Structure 1
């Protein structure tokens, strides 16, 4: 459905979250290295900035133990300014500032010693923290926009698996983005589908895509994620045939297919508890388990003392 509130002349703010998890990028079976993927992503960023003179960009790195802004840098040089950057006659200055900031920022993060991690968080990055930073930056940009014409969106480029401990923060970010009409696009470069990010793209009316061949990442970014919110009204973009709506329990932080939901605070648990550990609500009833009902039915059918019908059943002639 066409959104009539979006104008063709509105500037676009793109917040890109780049997953730089070394546990996944350095895996022997990875079809693409981080340096190769970064060249594709930089070309995509430059294409976004070249689309309109007033397009804006923000880049956030999602590391294993940290989440940090790469561009614009805090207290850094103004894009296109004379301080802190060396001009190159063979390069567009705005592109050069963005490329240098992103590459140097990722190099510094990867050179830092890896933080101590809990066993359940090994191999996962801080996607939830990066989404929170992106939403805060967008909120600040919208408040500073006096005309109210800036159209923000978020693009997540990830290779890490889901972290069940991040379920609640990610869902908070999803509902905040939905309320502010901020679509969250997700590109799962490789690996298993990200359950929580699938839900993020579905709820915020964004795009979720998992490339069949990650070596063509630039082509996928240009054709699927480069169109702005106005252009999407006239394009047939890829969507999701099926969405995994599984959740993570609040007690053990694991993804469950069937759970118990508190009727007061809507907390999810993998097993029944007479007292909700979140809001301390006490339940006076016991759950009716389907397995117990089946066992009771089987026991009654095999019991020789069970009642029989008083009238005989008619026999076929």
Structure 2
């Protein structure tokens, strides 16, 4: 009986349409770097071919594209003026191109061109060259929530793919973690393709927590091959494939006080805020702690195990910070 129910569920899942939300990092400071192995104009050719392949997989597959720019996050497709696949389009006909592909390609290329034509941000405004990944994830989750509400039968299976080249921005730690937990609660996997550069710590955690895929291509010039073989299969097909995974996941966090990624931090036992150094008062929830904790340096100086410090008050029943 269980096998029959499982087969019916898999059959229904197979017939569901797939909603893919793609977040493209358009940070010009990273794409135009002299050591970049792949320029943005060449990478867009790979990405557009991948988008077209997703739409060609099923007649009811859906797509949304969001640009994560420096200081801005913008929908590239669909926009208020762009129709969705399957609807009537009002663009110039081209007998050599499938019309749905042309609508998507034109919207993405036009939107990115407008972003790059805007005044270039200064060094003080660009926040160390980081793009607004957290804002883009929020937009993607809002769009998915709207699509799921409009689908009363529950036949839309959403997922998010992040294509990034920018380093982590410690100031985005809290917004990104909020997006991760929201996606996990809604069963929305977040896939991440780090095209080049150092590993993105926060996005590694996003892929691990939401059961998505995190991957760095060996050669960024073969981006299309990586996208087609690793990120094109939907959630139903992935159950039959052996896809790449993460051997190690970096679970470091960013402190709430200086927005730095820390190896060891002090956690407030009330609001779970993380700090790089001990403070008698939590700056987030204003909780006052009753005693000074025993720091690692004090242990090395020969503090006796189990002995209390007569110069400090006894721990009370109030909330105390813990180190992690």
Compute the TM-score of the two structures, normalised by the length of structure 2. Answer: 0.88
| Structure 1 range deviating more: 217-226 or 106-115 | 106-115
1:172 to 174, 178, 187: 178
Task: Name stretches of at least 5 consecutive residues in structure 1 with no aligned partner.
Answer: 299-317
2:113 to 96, 101, 107: 107
When residues 78 and 201 of structure 1 are mapped into structure 2, their CA distance, relative to the original with a 3 A threshold, is closer
The separation in 1 between residues aligned to 2:73 and 2:161, in whole angstroms, is 15
> Does structure 2 conserve the Cα–Cα contact (< 8 Å) formed by 1:62 and 1:126?
yes
> Does structure 2 conserve the Cα–Cα contact (< 8 Å) formed by 1:80 and 1:93?
no
1:34 to 10, 27, 40: 40
> Does structure 2 conserve the Cα–Cα contact (< 8 Å) formed by 1:23 and 1:123?
yes
Task: Name stretches of at least 5 consecutive residues in structure 2 with no aligned partner.
Answer: 305-324
Structure 2 counterpart of 1:207: 213
When residues 117 and 138 of structure 1 are mapped into structure 2, their CA distance, relative to the original with a 3 A threshold, is farther
Higher gyration radius (CA): 1
Structure 1 counterpart of 2:138: 132
The separation in 2 between residues aligned to 1:248 and 1:53, in whole angstroms, is 43
Alignment of 1:295 with 2:301, yes or no, is yes
Number of residue equivalences: 296
> Does structure 1 conserve the Cα–Cα contact (< 8 Å) formed by 2:26 and 2:67?
yes
The separation in 1 between residues aligned to 2:220 and 2:279, in whole angstroms, is 45
The separation in 2 between residues aligned to 1:217 and 1:129, in whole angstroms, is 25
> Does structure 2 conserve the Cα–Cα contact (< 8 Å) formed by 1:21 and 1:125?
yes
Offset at residue 293 of structure 1 (A): 1.4
Alignment of 1:216 with 2:254, yes or no, is no
Alignment of 1:156 with 2:162, yes or no, is yes
The separation in 2 between residues aligned to 1:220 and 1:83, in whole angstroms, is 31
1:187 to 193, 213, 226: 193
DSSP-derived class of the 1:234 partner: coil
Deviation string, structure 1 residues 198-253 (Cα, Å, up to 9, x no partner)? 00000000000011100000000000000001001110000000000000000000
The separation in 1 between residues aligned to 2:282 and 2:87, in whole angstroms, is 56
Structure 2 counterpart of 1:123: 129
**Two-structure CA RMSD over aligned residues (Å):** 1.7
DSSP-derived class of the 2:301 partner: helix
The separation in 2 between residues aligned to 1:120 and 1:274, in whole angstroms, is 34
The separation in 1 between residues aligned to 2:86 and 2:118, in whole angstroms, is 29
1:89 to 88, 95, 118: 95
